Amino acid sequence: MNLNQLQSTLMASARRNPPSDSVPFGFETRVMARVREASAAVDLLADWTRGFWRAAVSSVGVFAVALAVHVSQPASSPDWADSMETFSADLDAASVAQGDSSMDLW
């Protein structure tokens, strides 16, 4: 593609179609302000801070939902407590036996 020919074609087209007077007042100023704003240095600390605050708010929301579910559950039964004790004992045995390959836990 010949860039000089493309440029002259575009310039001729622009000369044939002059800009309209219906452009809103201050349009150029707003456009240039946006261009300057976009070209400003990116503030990474502000972006990280905003992300952490959003994560904190969503974590509080998840906590509130989990708390509501927990409070709405009936009191735990003895079977559940026994299964938790068994799970706790299995977890302790697995964590202690990590270095011992002679013990078959799984």
Which tokens go with 10? 């575009």
- Residue 56 located in a structural domain: yes
Strand runs (DSSP E) across 1-106, as ranges? none
pLDDT of residue 105: 54
**pLDDT above 90: residue 100:** no
Q: Which residues, 6+ apart, have CB-to-CB distance to 40 below 8 Å?
A: none
- 51 lies in which domain range? 45-89
- The count of domains in the chain is 1
- Residue 52 located in a structural domain: yes
Specify the residue for token string 């905003």: 50
pTM of the prediction?
Answer: 0.36
At 79, the amino acid letter reads D
**pLDDT above 80: residue 101:** no
- Residue 40 located in a structural domain: no
- Residue 18 located in a structural domain: no
- Residue 23 located in a structural domain: no
Specify the residue for token string 């261009």: 35
- Residue 1 located in a structural domain: no
Which tokens go with 92? 């302790």
- Residue 80 located in a structural domain: yes
- Residue 99 located in a structural domain: no
